[in-house]
Amino acid sequence: MFIDEVSVFLKSGNGGDGCMSFRREKYIPKGGPDGGDGGKGGSIILQCSVQWADLTPYRFKPHAEAEVGESGKGRQKHGKDGLDCILMVPAGTIVIDEETGRPVAELLNDGETVVLLKGGKGGKGNIHFKNAINQAPRQTTSGELHEEGHFRFVMKTIADIGLVGFPNAGKSSLIGAITHAHPKTASYPFTTLHPNIGVLEYADGQRLLMADIPGLIQGASENRGLGHRFLKHIERCTTLIFLIDMAAEDGRKPEDDYTQLRKELELYNQLLLEKKQVVVANKMDMPDSAEHLKRFQKKHGIRPISISCLEGSGLEELKTALKRA
């Protein structure tokens, strides 16, 4: 199961109340006030971790709260602070306030933290209210109340390169051929149901992250099929690969596929088309692929990089083009 969006209810801790107390010891029957302050309530803190792949834990445990602060005590003893509640989230997580619909936090880098809900401050003990006029104050303050809210965690995959293509275009085969990823591959559509990240390594030590993302279908921009669940994962990519199936075994026309892919991206977010693009013609080992490629070039006026994941041809040229992009 891959969970990239969850709704949660979070609550920080109340602050502890201040204490009203007076010093009473042998030979000091009328000691002054000595009530301590209440402890601070725990906060809700989000921490980004690259060790977390998705948001699955919050699917089964959507509620979390921090500890309350302890009340103050006599002899000027302060109450113990409540423990913070630290929630781990994967890189690329956006936090949205469900009441307002506005993003309130975004965590991108490993180890980055955000205090989402602050714990309440502790109340003051009566020792703070002593003065020349009122030497035996009975005044204290209560601890501040907690903060709470309903939030939506939305994960968007972080990768340098995003693979865009219709189902069965060969995206999983490509990422498996040129990276260390081993996604499931098969001859039927929607083999990939969640993003897979592969590492593309070069001889000079450069590393690029490539995301194999579930295939688009017509109407994805309107949330058909995997719809927005797919499209949001390419928003952070700097370069897009348009992978076109040149074999057209199911009767599709490769030139129309490219047009439709661009249209779906534009309808979802036109800024996606401003990203760097590499057009790739896959399955060039098939009998009719060369003829389909000529028709594609004539219509769009571009020369795709021709590859065959099955035979391994064209992959080095593609890796060079991706590094350049």
**Residue 99 phi, psi dihedral angles, 5° rounding:** -75, -40
**Model-level pTM?**
0.74
pLDDT at 86: 97
Q: Which residues pair with 151 in a beta bridge?
A: 8, 97
* Residues 263, 127 share a domain: no
What's the structural domain count of the chain?
A: 2
* Residues 75, 194 share a domain: no
Report the distance separating Cα 234 and Cα 210, nearest Å. Answer: 10
* Residues 202, 304 share a domain: yes
* Residues 310, 179 share a domain: yes
* Residues 175, 259 share a domain: yes
* Residues 207, 127 share a domain: no
pLDDT along the chain (325 residues), means of 10: 86 96 83 92 96 88 96 94 96 94 94 97 94 90 96 89 85 84 47 68 89 61 48 85 88 89 87 93 92 94 93 93 92
Say if residues 277 and 250 touch (Cβ distance below 8 Å): no
* Residues 238, 212 share a domain: yes
Four-residue CA torsion sign, 43, 44, 47, 51: positive
* Residues 130, 209 share a domain: no
With b for 16 or more beta-carbon neighbours within 10 A and e for fewer, the 303-325 pattern comes to: ebbbbbbeeeebbeebbebbeeb
Last residue of a domain, one of 125, 155, 185: 155
The tokens for 59 are 């699917």
* Residues 190, 146 share a domain: no
71: domain CATH number is 2.70.210.12
What are the DSSP E strand ranges found in the chain? Answer: 5-11, 44-48, 63-65, 85-89, 93-97, 102-107, 113-117, 148-155, 161-164, 196-201, 207-212, 239-245, 276-282, 305-306
* Residues 244, 147 share a domain: no
Q: Residue 251's domain spans which residues?
A: 161-324
The tokens for 16 are 């502890």
